[in-house]
Structure 1
Amino acid sequence: MKLNINEKKVLYTFGCPNHRATVDSLQLLAAITPDPVTGELFNDLAIKLSAEEAHDWYRRFYRTLRMEMDGYYEAELTLRLAEISSYDMEDDYGEADQV
């Protein structure tokens, strides 16, 4: 199954190892979400996961997804920290260049 990054983020946030509970949660979220675009995202993902064969592979898929998204968020944090520290360094170098 191919998922885009937004679908992966939704599963990372609202999913659980229990396939049926995840599908039910996504359907409930789709029903109560006021934003129609987000509701459609939840509903489409619930439909994708409702496939007959999804129950068999979901638990392994979920564990792999958690590891992948943990790495994604760790990399995102590292980039933000590098960006912040590079701004601080630019100020220091700017003062040293001015003679």
Structure 2
Amino acid sequence: MPVGEKEGFGENPQSEFSADLREEMLKETPQFERVKLGEGGRFVIPASMREKMGVKPGDTLIAHVEDGELHVLSYEENLRRIQEDVSSYKKPGESVVDEFLAERRAMWGEE
């Protein structure tokens, strides 16, 4: 080993402790929480995760299983994703609502 090179853990020394950084990290919502499955297959979504999802008790949620994983979305987030997915089919300047109404009026003999 060349002179002056460190070996092992000495290569990348640990940064100094920062109380401010620790406090900021403690404020962040953990990415994973352990929850217990209760009677009837129920579990509680931790408050910090509900806040991050933007949901409150009584809100409608959308759940699906993909590759053995349970995914839970707020109704609003699910709607936003659907709108984003179908937006690629809409042409710029096109009004889907106006076209729909024109079709219905023609069907009803109003035009």
Q: TM-score range by the shorter chain?
A: under 0.3
TM-score, length of structure 1 as denominator length: 0.25
By percentage of residues, which structure has more strand? 2
Q: Report 1 or 2 for greater relative contact order, CA contacts < 8 Å, sequence distance ≥ 6.
A: 1
TM-score, length of structure 2 as denominator length: 0.23
By percentage of residues, which structure has more helix? 1
